[in-house]
């Protein structure tokens, strides 16, 4: 593992083998990062956040607790994962809110999903496996597996495969990846990988 000078990593943070943390990144208490992760310049990881293996957080991404990112998640530059339904600086009586005055809610990002630059995910939402959130999108509802969403609020616009490229129709309810040739089946508004075994 490599923690560059200028990064701020709390003493109880768990960093997996081969993980690199670049300057100005901050990783708070109790966070757990898997093996082979890359944490870019100025990225923020909140207390108790969990990242799986081989995750990439680009420069100035903000991942607030209690977010959970599974293996292979990509978080583009300046992405924000929020953690508060109804944010306020003060309580109704005008006193400054502290940690015990509200309950954080997290964003969950499933295996292989990617969040494009500047996207905002408003907790609590779940981004499905291998989904793709287009740059600049505002995600306010759960995103299904293999779904490409875009806009504010983000809406489903296409299907993508594990390679991240849009899928092409392959007759009936079938879809095929033009890069890997993997086949997917659409049913009941969702997409699943075709079983080849």
pLDDT digits (tens, 9 = 90+) for 16-47: 999 999 999 999 999 999 999 999 999 999 99
pLDDT at 197 over 60: no
Tell me, yes or no, whether 119 and 188 share the same domain. Answer: no
Residue 193 half-sphere exposure toward CB, CA atoms < 13 A: 13
Count of domains in the chain? 2
Average pLDDT over residues 105-113: 97
Distance of alpha carbon 109 from alpha carbon 40, whole angstroms: 18
Residue 102 in this model has a pLDDT that exceeds 90: no
Q: Three-state secondary structure along 92-145?
A: CCCCECCHHHCCCCCCEECCCCEECCCCEECCCCEECCCCEECCCCEECCCECC
Answer yes or no: do 152 and 175 share one domain. Answer: no
For residues 42 and 64, give the distance between their C-alpha atoms in angstroms, rounded to a whole number.
14
Quick one: pLDDT at residue 123? 95
Domain span at residue 171 reads 162-197
Q: What is the pLDDT of residue 196?
A: 59
Residues 32 and 83 in one domain: yes
pLDDT averaged over every residue in the chain? 94
Q: Is pTM beyond 0.75 here?
A: yes
Q: What is the pLDDT of residue 125?
A: 97
* 125 closest CA partner among 71, 79, 81, 63: 81
Same domain for 105 and 184? no
Same domain, 95 and 12: yes
Whether residue 194 sits in one domain with residue 131: no
Mark whether 197 and 152 lie in a shared domain: no
State whether 194 and 138 are in the same domain.
no
What confidence tens digit (pLDDT) does each residue in 168-192 have? 998 777 899 999 999 999 988 789 9
């Amino acid at each position: 593992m490599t923690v560059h000078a200028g990064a701020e990593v709390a003493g109880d943070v768990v960093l997996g083998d081969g993980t690199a943390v670049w300057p100005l990144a901050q990783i708070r208490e109790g966070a757990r990062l898997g093996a082979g992760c890359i944490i870019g310049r100025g990225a923020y990881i909140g207390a108790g956040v969990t990242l799986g293996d081989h995750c990439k957080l680009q420069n100035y991404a903000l991942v607030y607790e209690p977010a959970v990112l599974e293996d292979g998640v990509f978080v583009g530059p300046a992405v924000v994962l929020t953690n508060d339904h109804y944010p306020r600086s003060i309580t109704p009586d005008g006193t400054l809110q502290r940690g015990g005055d509200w309950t954080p809610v997290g964003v969950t990002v499933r295996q292989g999903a990617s969040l494009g630059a500047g996207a905002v995910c408003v907790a609590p939402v779940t981004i499905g496996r291998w989904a793709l959130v287009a740059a600049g999108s505002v995600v306010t509802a759960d995103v299904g597996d293999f779904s490409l969403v875009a806009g504010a609020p983000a809406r489903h616009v296409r299907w993508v495969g594990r390679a991240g490229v849009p899928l092409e129709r392959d007759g009936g309810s079938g879809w095929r990846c033009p890069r890997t040739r993997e086949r997917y089946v659409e049913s009941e508004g969702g997409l699943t990988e075709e079983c080849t075994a």
